[in-house]
């Protein structure tokens, strides 16, 4: 889906709402839900290990963050649409026994993810998946994710790791 989004400009003037309030409310709701889910899953022992590893300040920021680690009070700019789509799909799937097109397009989940899926569906993208999309979640061999963003950062990280590995072999 992300390749399709990059190759096709999916936005048109018809897609933009004059009332942007829905976006802020949706973002706020998604952030609050992610924060509650994260806090309910982390035990006091996990919280201590998190603080030991990240420091108290960063552990608190992580625990208070919203979707995709973005500060939960940031509602002015929507980022990581893919995370909103994933959040929507997970929440509507958990509320119903079976995910159907109607459930995905109109079910209660993440309003921003739902809007993105509605736009994609309107453009003719199959939002129900295909024969191989499950492999990403399953971790099957043969499926490999290739990042499209931050190529320079990814390249420098690979180079740095290669240099470290080479240095370790020399010792």
SS3 assignment for the chain:
CHHHHHHCCCCCHHHCCCCCHHHHHHHHHHHHHHHHHHHHHCCHHHHHHHHHHHCHHHHHHHHHECHHHCECCCCCCCCCHHHHHHHHHHHHHHHCCCCCHHHHHHCCCCHHHHHHHHHHHHCCCCCCCCCCCHHHHHCCCCCCCCCCCCHHHHHHHHHHHHHHHHHHHHC
Cα gap 159→167, rounded to integer Å? 12
Pair 92, 104: CB distance under 8 Å: yes
pLDDT at 160: 84
Within 10 angstroms of residue 24's Cβ, the number of other Cβ atoms is 13
Confidence of residue 68 (pLDDT cuts 50, 70, 90): confident
Mean local confidence (pLDDT), 89-118: 82
Average pLDDT of the chain to the nearest whole number: 78
> Which residues, 6 or more positions from 110, have their beta carbon under 8 angstroms from its beta carbon?
26, 29, 30, 33, 67, 84, 85, 87, 88, 91
Cα gap 14→7, rounded to integer Å? 19
pLDDT at 10: 43
Q: What pLDDT, in 10s, does the model give residues 9-54?
A: 444 434 444 456 777 888 888 888 888 988 999 999 999 999 999 9
Q: What pLDDT, in 10s, does the model give residues 106-154?
A: 888 888 899 999 999 999 988 887 777 767 666 666 666 666 666 677 7
Pair 55, 84: CB distance under 8 Å: no
Least confident of 86-90, 98-102, 115-119, 137-141: 137-141
């Amino acid at each position: 889906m992300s390749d399709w989004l990059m190759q096709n400009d999916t936005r048109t003037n018809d897609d933009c709402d004059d009332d942007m309030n829905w976006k802020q409310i949706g973002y706020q709701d998604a952030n609050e839900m992610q924060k509650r889910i994260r806090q309910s899953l982390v035990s006091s022992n996990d919280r201590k290990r998190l603080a030991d590893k990240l420091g108290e300040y960063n552990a608190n920021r992580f625990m208070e963050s919203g979707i995709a680690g973005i500060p939960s009070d940031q509602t002015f700019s929507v980022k990581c649409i893919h995370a909103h789509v994933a959040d929507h799909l997970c929440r509507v799937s958990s509320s119903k026994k079976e995910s159907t097109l109607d459930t995905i397009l109109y079910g209660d989940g993440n309003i921003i993810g739902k809007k993105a899926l509605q736009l994609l569906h309107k453009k003719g993208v199959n939002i129900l998946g295909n024969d191989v999309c499950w492999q990403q979640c399953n971790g099957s061999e043969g499926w490999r994710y290739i990042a499209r963003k931050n190529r320079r950062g990814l390249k420098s990280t690979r180079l740095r790791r290669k240099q470290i590995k080479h240095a370790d072999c020399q010792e």
